[in-house]
A and B are shown apart, each in its own frame.
Chain A
Amino acid sequence: MGHHDLSQTEIKASPLDIHFPDSDGSRIPYEVFSSQAVYEREQERIYRGSTWSFVALEAEIPHPGDFKSTYIGDTPVVVTRTPDGSLAAWVNRCSHRGAKLCVLPRGNATSHACLYHQWNFDSQGNLTGVPFRRGQKDMAGMPPEFDMKAHGLKKLRVDSYRGLIFASFSDTVATLPEYLGTEMRPWIDRIMHKPIVYLGCTRQYVNANWKLYFENVKDPYHASLLHLFHTTFNIMRVGMKARSIPDATHGLHSIITATRIEDDTSGAEYKAQDIRSMNEGFHLEDDSVLGYVYEFEEATTNHIQSIFPQLVLQQIHNSLVARQLLPKAPDKFELIFHFFGYADDTPELRELRIKQANLVGPAGYISMEDGYATELVQRGTLRESKSCSVLDMGLGKPDQQDTLITEGLIRRFWSEYQTLMAL
């Protein structure tokens, strides 16, 4: 057998020969976090497949002509408010020769001209102008049969649910409300129940696979163990009233909540188990950062809701955020925290929301560790692609939802991920 044959055999072997030893999502081979082939397939089957991706808050583009450049997966897209007030989204690629059309991150324009040869498009993505289309003097221009209608930008399906804008490459994906599902919608309604105001965003660039972050927001187990701010300053204990609920249809979305119980005795339990989290003697000089103004029916301190594949809707105390999770490479993701308040906030409540931005984001008292933790996994697993993570917490009671000590939501995610990815 010659060298030629050998290389042919290698080419024929599936590039995605990835083995999940269990189908229940409890053992995940680490190569899914570093493989370029997996990353490529995710772009096609997930981001450009039958899903809805969060792209913007309506409050970011309130006026006709407003636009925002963003991404679905790693495909650059633009979402716009058209002159009639409706929403549109298109791939940010000129239909002439492929130049990135919109080069500004945000702005207001009712037409978008490509820098290269000045082809012009409206907010909906229709081609409206081609310079020298009819030529000039004896110079020919475009062929007479050139069809302007056939050369618009690649348009995406776009819809908004309660002020959250999603876009999709798929013509066959369920409607947005159906895609969000009956378990998830009431929780979105809870946060997005009245008009909001966009307060700005912060961005974080992390050297880890995006799914490590998606696991992180489905992982209530880590909250009091990794984020020591909680316990150092006595904010939250495992003994809170808790929920960990997956979407019932496919399990890709989920909601985690924690609600304070007044006579909490779990501190003693921590001490008994000698967990490093229990520190005595530290207190905040100004604990207004942990203030809590009652504004929801249930006084949850934490609401962490992941909507697959690129949204995490969050309420932590009175801090309201839509986090957009964008994959950049197998070992890189960007996280964009879109902060908002309600239009009818009192000045005091608005000030509290701004103050509580200290809790979340890249410098967040109770979130700065998340990016770091995902990087540690990325580094630790670099040459261990065939080894697996262990996700057994709460395995004995797979249907239990009133718990924070569980990896059940992560298991549900991985089971469906395998189906979606045909792995």
Chain B
Amino acid sequence: MTSLDNLLLWFDLHNLQERYVSVLDNDQLEAWPDLFTKDGHYEIVPKENADADLPIGLIYCNSQSMMRDRILSTREANLYEPQTYRHMVSGLVITPIDKTTARMQSSYLVFRTNQEGDTAIYQAGKYEDLVVSTPDGWRYQSKRVIYDTLRVATLLAIPV
């Protein structure tokens, strides 16, 4: 790859990540599944399980349909205190596999603000992504969220 290719790839993937953060932080949850491929995977697992190679996590979706179901449940079925996330993402490393696939890794920190207006650090962790180039642009084939903050404060209602 030329350095221009690299620059374009970085630009595209950085863009995907920024959109990902933006939909979650700005209550556009319905747009969240669209950032994945149809058969995309999303999971959020505690670091202790990831380190021990154990599969269990908080959310596990193995299709875009399951992701839409999760959002529908968040909107219509589940009860929780209204809240806002703010993601801080850093340390993005991109490892191209071929022209249309790449791995991405980055660190994240999520601040959660509750109804009273109190803001707390909700979760620290990292993203491990497999991304693919599709006719609609780059999409997540899989996103594995590995969180360090093992004890989830009260509940997790919105994907991280």
Contact = CB atoms under 8 A, between A and B. Distances in A.
Given A199-B54, A232-B76, A285-B66, 18 more contacts: A106-B52, A199-B55, A200-B49, A202-B57, A203-B152, A204-B154, A229-B73, A284-B69, A284-B72, A285-B69, A289-B66, A334-B151, A357-B58, A357-B60, A362-B156, A363-B44, A368-B156, A369-B80
A161 interface: no
Contacts, number: 116
Given A200-B52, A203-B151, A357-B56, A365 B77 contact: yes
A202 B46 contact: yes
B77 A354 contact: no
A282 interface: yes
Contacts of A372: 79-81, 154-155
B62 A371 contact: no
Interface in B36-87: 44-46, 48-49, 52, 54-63, 65-66, 68-70, 72-73, 76-81
B157 interface: yes
Interface in A330-370: 334, 339, 354-355, 357-358, 361-363, 365, 368-369
Interface string A167-211: 000000000000000000000000000000011111111110000
Contact of B58 (A198, A202, A207): A202
Interface string A363-398: 101001101100100000000000000000000000
B155 A368 contact: yes
Nearest to B153: A205
Contacts of A229: 73, 77-78
A279 interface: yes
Interface in A266-297: 279, 282, 284-286, 289
B69 to A, nearest CB: 5
B117 to A, nearest CB: 16
Interface of B: 44-46, 48-49, 52, 54-63, 65-66, 68-70, 72-73, 76-81, 150-157
Contacts of B69: 284-286, 289
A164 interface: no
A361 B72 contact: no
A228 B56 CA distance: 24
A201 B49 contact: yes
Contacts of B157: 363, 368
Query: Which residue of A200, A279, A285, A363 has the most chain B CB atoms within 10 A of its CB atom?
Result: A363
Nearest to B58: A363
A358 B72 CA distance: 14
Query: Which residue of B52, B54, B63, B79 has the most chain A CB atoms within 10 A of its CB atom?
Result: B79
B37 to A, nearest CB: 15
Given A233-B77, A285-B69, A204 B55 contact: no
A202 to B, nearest CB: 6
15 contacts: A200-B52, A200-B55, A203-B151, A204-B152, A205-B152, A228-B78, A282-B77, A285-B68, A286-B69, A334-B151, A354-B60, A362-B58, A365-B77, A365-B78, A368-B157
Interface string A93-127: 00000000000011000000000000000000000
Contacts of B63: 286
Contacts of B57: 200, 202, 357
A375 B154 contact: yes
A207 B81 CA distance: 14
Contacts of A205: 151-154
Given A203-B150, A228-B79, A365 B56 contact: no
B78 A369 contact: yes
Given A286-B65, A339-B56, A358-B59, A206 B154 contact: yes
Interface string A52-87: 000000000000000000000000000000000000
Nearest to B156: A363
